[in-house]
Amino acid sequence: MKLEIKRIKVNDIIFGDETIVKDGVLTLNKEELITELKKVPGVVDVALDFAFPGDEIRIIPVKDVIEPRVTVSPKGVRGFSGVNADIVQLGDGVVHALDEVAIVTIGDIVGFQEGVIDMWGEGAKWTPFSKTKNIVVDLKCDKSLKPHEHEATVREAGLLASELIGLAGKDCTKFVKEEVYEMGMPDEETKKYPNLPKVVYVEMLISQGLLHDGFCYGINTRFTLPTLLHPNEELDGAVISGNCVAACDKITTYQHQNNSVIKSLYARHGKDINFVGVVISPELTTLDGKFRNADFVSKLCSQLGAQGVIVSEEGYGNPDSDLVMIAERLEKKGIVTVLITDECSGWDGLSQPLTDAKPEAKAVISTGNVSKVVHLGKAKKILGDPESIANLAGGWAGAYDPETGTMSCELNAVIGATSEIGFHNCTIKVL
């Protein structure tokens, strides 16, 4: 498979008479976009705004972040396969992406685990989306919708917005960067690199219902077994977020489209490792489900001949058990296993970081403490409802002070703060 992602430089975003990219300026026809988004069943009203890096703007409560793109080859492919478009095989072709531009959906709260993005100050340090030029889509939904219907409506509207805005780059011919991801099937790559260790990436996805679901080719992963993907499929939009898991480690659709682990492994493929595939593994709530998925992950990695496996988690709490169960099974087969997870260590950082442990889970990369409290300054402009922090994971009643405009919360409430695929701003300092 060969996937080319050609990135279009966007210096500014404005409203105008047509939706187009020209001379580094992305122009959006506001009325047309709102008209199209209001066609999504359940959407009552839509407002559009912008938030740029350094602006003293707070966005809350954030539901998802999506990169606007358009597929230019094969022709006729639009949207997200199996979600808001026909089912097509992803991972081959040419994609134009609006570089460092993001669609951010907000609106009435769906579940308590949504989040906040600050574009400046202390809050900007903790979210990767303080660095993107954000098109904020504020969605008002039919009040009669049930929570799951509400989530689906917002998800569909956000994906549609990214598709419609991505079309602006269809005819662009100048690019700031061109990324090429090319890899054959595992047996082909092994023939090319017979002496390199085979490495598999296992990506755990929240798949627990209760507004905690990921999707692959439009299928809720709660109803699937662990599945082998070509790395290009995820980079091409096969995996999307449909969950309201804690904002800090929710893997947004944007992060799936730009998965840090996949890109890092690709950079080393053919040099010091043979990157043979991605296994997505559902995180279920039942003990039988956890056993079944851990067994299947172990089997798939063994069938691929893996000598090393990287496992990333999504969320924390009971998924910690899935994480260490997978490590136990892989290590007992002689497969070197490295885990990526965040910690829930309390405000003082002294509590037990994970809810489960196994002696085989011995190589662990921490992406930070979700319980760390941060204090956020007064915004000049708020997109959304700051009072919603009282209902978000990591927030509490009184966390927002309307008199001073300041806000306090745990990193739990900050979108992408402790991303367990490494798509965040935290680093480790070795003393």
CB atoms near residue 299 (< 10 Å)? 14
Q: Which domain holds residue 159?
A: 2-413
* Spatial distance between the Cα atoms of 287 and 147, rounded to a whole number of angstroms: 26
User: Among the listed ranges 100-104, 229-233, 241-245, which one has the minimum average pLDDT value?
Assistant: 241-245
* Spatial distance between the Cα atoms of 381 and 134, rounded to a whole number of angstroms: 14
Quote the pLDDT of residue 360: 94
Residue 19 forms part of a structural domain: yes
* Spatial distance between the Cα atoms of 29 and 19, rounded to a whole number of angstroms: 5
Find where tokens 């367990």 sit.
420
pTM of the model: 0.96
Q: Averaged over 118-143, what is the pLDDT?
A: 97
Q: Which two tokens stand for residue 129?
A: 């989306």
Helix (H) or strand (E) segment spanning residue 12: strand 12-15
Q: Which residues of 245-284 are buried (b: 16+ CB within 10 A; e: fewer)?
A: bbbbbbbbbbbbbbbbbbbebbeebeeebbbbbbbbbbbb
Residue 429 forms part of a structural domain: no
CB atoms near residue 150 (< 10 Å)? 23
DSSP assigned state of 390 = G
Residue 422 forms part of a structural domain: no
Whether 221 shows a pLDDT value over 80: the answer reads yes
Q: Are strands 407-410 and 381-384 parallel, antiparallel or unpaired?
A: unpaired
Residue 306 forms part of a structural domain: yes
Higher pLDDT, 307 or 75: 307
For residue 352, give the amino acid letter. Answer: Q
For residue 111, give the amino acid letter. Answer: G
For residue 59, give the amino acid letter. Answer: I
Quote the pLDDT of residue 92: 95
**Domains in the chain, number:** 1
Residue 294 forms part of a structural domain: yes
Q: By C-alpha distance, which of 66, 50, 24, 15 is closest to 172?
A: 24
Write the Ramachandran bin of 372: left for phi over 0, alpha for psi from -120 to 50, otherwise beta.
beta
85 exposed, middle or buried (CB, 10 Å; 0-12, 13-18, 19+)?
Answer: middle
Whether 342 shows a pLDDT value over 70: the answer reads yes
Find where tokens 């915004």 sit.
379
Three-state secondary-structure class, residue 192: helix
Please write the tens of the pLDDT for every residue from 240-269. 998 877 899 999 999 999 999 999 999 999
Please write the tens of the pLDDT for every residue from 269-309. 999 999 999 999 999 999 999 999 999 999 999 999 999 99
Higher pLDDT, 211 or 104: 104
Write the Ramachandran bin of 158: left for phi over 0, alpha for psi from -120 to 50, otherwise beta.
alpha
- Compute the C-alpha angle 64/250/133, nearest 5°: 40
For residue 37, give the amino acid letter. Answer: L
Residue 177 forms part of a structural domain: yes
93 exposed, middle or buried (CB, 10 Å; 0-12, 13-18, 19+)?
Answer: buried
Three-state secondary-structure class, residue 382: strand
Helix (H) or strand (E) segment spanning residue 236: none
| Largest CA-CA distance found in the chain, in angstroms, rounded | 66
Residue 430 forms part of a structural domain: no
Quote the pLDDT of residue 429: 67
pLDDT bucket at 349, cuts 50 / 70 / 90: confident
* Spatial distance between the Cα atoms of 148 and 370, rounded to a whole number of angstroms: 26
* Spatial distance between the Cα atoms of 395 and 61, rounded to a whole number of angstroms: 11
Give residue 20's Cα distance to chain centre.
Answer: 26
Q: Which two tokens stand for residue 103?
A: 């669609």
Residue 423 forms part of a structural domain: no
Catalytic residue list: 244
